[in-house]
């Protein structure tokens, strides 16, 4: 595994007043890390994004983003504009047949539960903290990583088109230790969510969060700080899962991103 997880694009036009450094490629679903001068303001598509004391900021490109990205750097009332083209990603089509009916369409009696689960997950992902862990390199959550499912796959279950799969799936035996990919603070820790089973969400600052699902054991409580590499629990098959595996998610607020884009797996 390469150590460097971002490819650096540095544009530093000769007539440019302020440096803007961007890491990450502008492909759909990617997380982009930026650095500007201290005390600069950054506007993304005309909306202000938080800039850390050191000048770090972050944003994500949605799965189907087509429009160019407009980045404006403002310092001392002087504005600089940058326009970045977004590159398309091709997504797989994943057909799974012969699933039990309740795995494809949940029974009515669990609708309220699903709604409540989604509320908890939504609230955890909406956390806007000034942590700056998002600027650090991510590490793989398992020592042995065999990928069995990728971001963006359109799933057709028993012939019914479902929402795309936004996670990255790793094959692993039940009970395998899961390690935190990045320093963070747990904003959700639940043992039994309907779809995702044992679930932990970590906040890494500025809207960047990671989620681990289908876990068997959970060692982290909500509000707890973790260090990268710390064991947070074990692989399971809890929730709606076809078997033991780890499914991880990456978000920038409610924008679902490709975890492979920060794990050097593309």
SS3 state of residue 154? strand
Candidate segments 18-26, 127-135, 145-153, 173-181, binder of Zn ion by CB under 5 A: 145-153
Q: Kindly state whether residue 169 participates in binding Zn ion, applying the rule CB under 5 A.
A: yes
Residue, CB closest to Zn ion: 247
**Nearest of 71, 89, 85 to residue 28 by alpha carbon:** 89
Compose the 104-143 pattern: x for residues touching Zn ion by CB under 5 A, - for all others. Answer: ----------------------------------------
Q: Kindly state whether residue 190 participates in binding Zn ion, applying the rule CB under 5 A.
A: no
Q: Which tokens belong to 241?
A: 């899962």
Minimum separation from the CB atom of position 167 to Zn ion (A): 4
Q: Which tokens belong to 70?
A: 């407009």
Any idea which residue has 């289908």 for tokens?
214
Candidate segments 16-24, 26-34, 119-127, 146-154, binder of Zn ion by CB under 5 A: 146-154
Q: Kindly state whether residue 203 participates in binding Zn ion, applying the rule CB under 5 A.
A: no
Measured CA to CA, the distance from residue 149 to residue 246 in angstroms comes to 10
Minimum separation from the CB atom of position 240 to Zn ion (A): 10
Measured CA to CA, the distance from residue 206 to residue 18 in angstroms comes to 22
Q: Kindly state whether residue 258 participates in binding Zn ion, applying the rule CB under 5 A.
A: no
Minimum separation from the CB atom of position 165 to Zn ion (A): 6
94 beta partners: 155
Q: Which residues contact 166 (CB under 8 A, 6 or more apart)?
A: 63, 151, 152, 249, 256
The residue from 60, 164, 167, 205 that contacts Zn ion (CB under 5 A) is 167
The residue from 29, 247, 248, 257 that contacts Zn ion (CB under 5 A) is 247
**Nearest of 22, 208, 53 to residue 129 by alpha carbon:** 208
Asked if residue 31 lies in contact with residue 252, where contact means CB atoms within 8 angstroms, the answer is yes
Candidate segments 18-26, 29-37, 140-148, 245-253, binder of Zn ion by CB under 5 A: 245-253
Q: Which residues bind Zn ion (CB under 5 A)?
A: 149, 167, 169, 247
């Amino acid at each position: 595994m390469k150590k460097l997880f971002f490819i650096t694009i540095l544009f530093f036009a000769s007539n440019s007043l302020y440096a803007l450094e961007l890491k990450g490629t502008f492909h759909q679903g990617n997380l982009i890390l930026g650095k500007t001068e201290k005390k600069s303001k950054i506007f993304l598509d005309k909306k202000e994004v938080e800039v850390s004391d050191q000048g770090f900021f972050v944003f994500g490109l949605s799965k189907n983003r087509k429009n160019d990205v407009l980045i404006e750097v403002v310092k001392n009332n002087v504005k600089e504009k940058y326009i970045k083209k977004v590159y398309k990603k091709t997504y797989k089509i994943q057909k799974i047949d012969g699933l039990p009916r309740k795995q494809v369409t949940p029974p009515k009696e669990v609708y309220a539960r699903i709604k409540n689960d989604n509320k908890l997950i939504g609230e955890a992902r909406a956390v806007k903290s000034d942590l700056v862990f998002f600027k650090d390199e991510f590490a793989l959550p398992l020592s042995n990583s065999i990928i069995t499912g990728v971001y963006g796959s359109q799933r057709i279950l028993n012939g019914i088109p479902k929402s795309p799969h936004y996670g990255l799936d790793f094959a692993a035996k039940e009970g395998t230790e899961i390690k935190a990919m990045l320093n963070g603070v747990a904003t959700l820790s639940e043992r039994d969510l309907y779809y995702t089973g044992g679930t932990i969400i970590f906040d890494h600052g500025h809207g960047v969060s990671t989620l681990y699902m289908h876990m068997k054991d959970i060692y982290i409580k909500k509000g707890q700080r973790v260090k990268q590499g710390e064991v947070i629990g074990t692989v399971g098959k809890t929730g709606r899962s076809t078997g033991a595996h780890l499914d991880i998610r990456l978000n920038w607020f409610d924008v679902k991103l490709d975890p492979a884009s920060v794990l050097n797996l593309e």
